[in-house]
């Protein structure tokens, strides 16, 4: 996990964050109130976004990053280059990181994609971003081919 100034990011990463930020607008969450937007960049250069949907369903609610990744896969794009996640700022400017369900799903996505892609996380008003990766977010992750090294 690295903390960076947004200016230190590559141009395509800045643009991906911008797409994630725009996706926050389509978030629907009267339940817990936190709005999220995510954007996936594929190897072919396409961008897929997702906005969280939290309503009555609790257990069936969907987070922004799962939707973005699933949209890419459903469009036949299974090579992922990077994921950006933007959310409203929490209390005292805290940044929200992906939930465990998304991390589990993303390890699958990562395995199918064939790479441990970067995950860039930012609170809406923050000037700094956190850069991590799928496997860093889920150490010793569960999967059927996992081995202790």
Binding site for a copy of itself (CB under 8 A): 1, 23, 25-26, 28, 31-32, 34, 49-51, 53-64, 66-68, 70-71, 73-76, 78, 90-92, 94-105, 107-109, 111-112, 130, 132, 136-148
Q: Is 65 a catalytic residue?
A: yes
Query: Min. distance of Cβ 2 from a copy of itself in angstroms?
Result: 12
What is the DSSP pairing of strand 2-5 with strand 36-42?
Answer: unpaired
Q: Which of 2, 3, 65, 88 is the catalytic position?
A: 65
The DSSP secondary-structure symbol of 55 reads S
Radius of gyration of the chain (CA): 15
Strand blocks (E) in 2-148:
2-5, 36-42, 47-51, 80-87, 118-123, 128-133
Query: Min. distance of Cβ 142 from a copy of itself in angstroms?
Result: 4
- Closer CB to a copy of itself, 63 or 84, in the complex: 63
Query: Min. distance of Cβ 81 from a copy of itself in angstroms?
Result: 18
Question: What would the two tokens of residue 43 be?
Answer: 């190897």
Length in residues, the chain: 149
Active site residue ranges: 65
């Amino acid at each position: 996990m690295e903390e960076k100034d947004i200016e230190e990011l590559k141009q395509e990463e800045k643009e991906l964050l911008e797409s994630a930020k725009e996706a926050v607008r389509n978030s629907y969450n009267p339940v817990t109130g936190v709005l999220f937007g995510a954007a996936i960049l594929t190897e072919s250069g396409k961008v897929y976004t997702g906005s969280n949907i939290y309503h009555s369903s609790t257990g069936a609610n969907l987070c922004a990053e799962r939707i973005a990744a699933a949209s890419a896969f459903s469009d036949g794009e299974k090579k992922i280059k990077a994921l950006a996640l933007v959310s409203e700022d929490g209390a005292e400017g805290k940044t929200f990181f992906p939930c465990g369900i998304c991390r589990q799903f993303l390890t699958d996505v990562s395995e199918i994609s064939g790479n441990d892609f970067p995950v860039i996380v930012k609170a809406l008003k923050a000037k700094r971003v956190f850069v991590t990766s799928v496997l860093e977010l889920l150490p010793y992750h569960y999967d059927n081919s996992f081995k202790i090294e």
